[in-house]
Amino acid sequence: MSLLQLQNLTKRFGGLVAVDDVSFEVPQGAIVGLIGPNGAGKTTVFNLITGNYRPDQGDILFEGRSIRKLPTHKIVALGIARTFQTIRLFPKMSVLENVLAGCHCRTHAGAVAAMLRLPFQKREEAAALAEAHAELAFTGIEHYADQVAENLSYGNQRLLEVARALASRPRFIILDEPAGGMNDFETAALIRIIRRIRERGITVLLIEHDMNLVMEACEHLVVLENGANIAEGTPAQIQADERVIEAYLGVEED
């Protein structure tokens, strides 16, 4: 069974059909790329998966269970984590605290436990800190732990979003243009990180404009154009697909 199944998803904004009857599946353990020209509806698909938007039609199944009506934080708790295309960190808080936000849904201490400093609260806090540091190390930004998030370079802010997402212990991670604003060197490091995420047993779905990254990192691609799913297959198949070349890849060769 696929980890994620999108079934005939449709999302309209007024008269605009941003996502038009899109269906595809993400197999367990895969790295899948979602590509397409600007405005094709890729980010909207992500926002539907994470519950930021509600679909007008269709359903979303995660591990066979419909998540269409769940609030975002519950979807995260089920094991879906995301990053944002337009970086959305907690800019005035430290890098470490940003990652601790991801640990939140795997911990429990509330206001009373905090005021009383109960033993379980202390243990939990120490464990969350260790985990946050480990995720910073995993993404290679542990040296910045005490810095304010907004002071990081663009590329490192993207990595911080990945670290925060991983801290929620997802089984499925969706990355919205993770290489946006990165230089070649940073992009190469990112590809390695994405592969290591998969080695941890986490399934990856990513949106990306950088064709090199997509072709190198993904084993399966889904192509959107004007909200519709126009092609699907391996990178080699997609590169050879007439319609895709016309709609998307062709543009680059002009």
The single residue listed with the structure tokens 């519709």 is 228
Nearer to another protein, 87 or 218 (CB): 87
- State the binding string over 200-229 for another protein (x if CB under 8 A, else -): x-----------------------------
Nearer to another protein, 76 or 213 (CB): 76
Distance CA 164, CA 161 (A): 5
148 binds, among another protein, Mg ion, ligand ADP, none (CB under 5 to 8 A by kind): another protein
Contact pick of 39, 58, 140, 180 for ligand ADP (by CB under 6 A) = 39
Contact pick of 5, 7, 23, 101 for another protein (by CB under 8 A) = 101
134 binds, among another protein, Mg ion, ligand ADP, none (CB under 5 to 8 A by kind): another protein
Distance CA 191, CA 199 (A): 13
Q: Which stretch binds ligand ADP (CB under 6 A): 40-48, 166-174, 189-197, 215-223?
A: 40-48
Listed residue (243, 235, 253) closest to 32, CA to CA:
235
Q: What SS3 state is found at 14?
A: coil
Q: What SS3 state is found at 232?
A: strand
Distance CA 218, CA 235 (A): 7
Q: For residue 164, count other CB atoms closer than 10 A to its CB.
A: 29
* Interface residues toward Mg ion, by CB under 5 A: 43, 85
Q: Which positions touch ligand ADP (CB under 6 A)?
A: 13, 16, 18, 36, 38-44
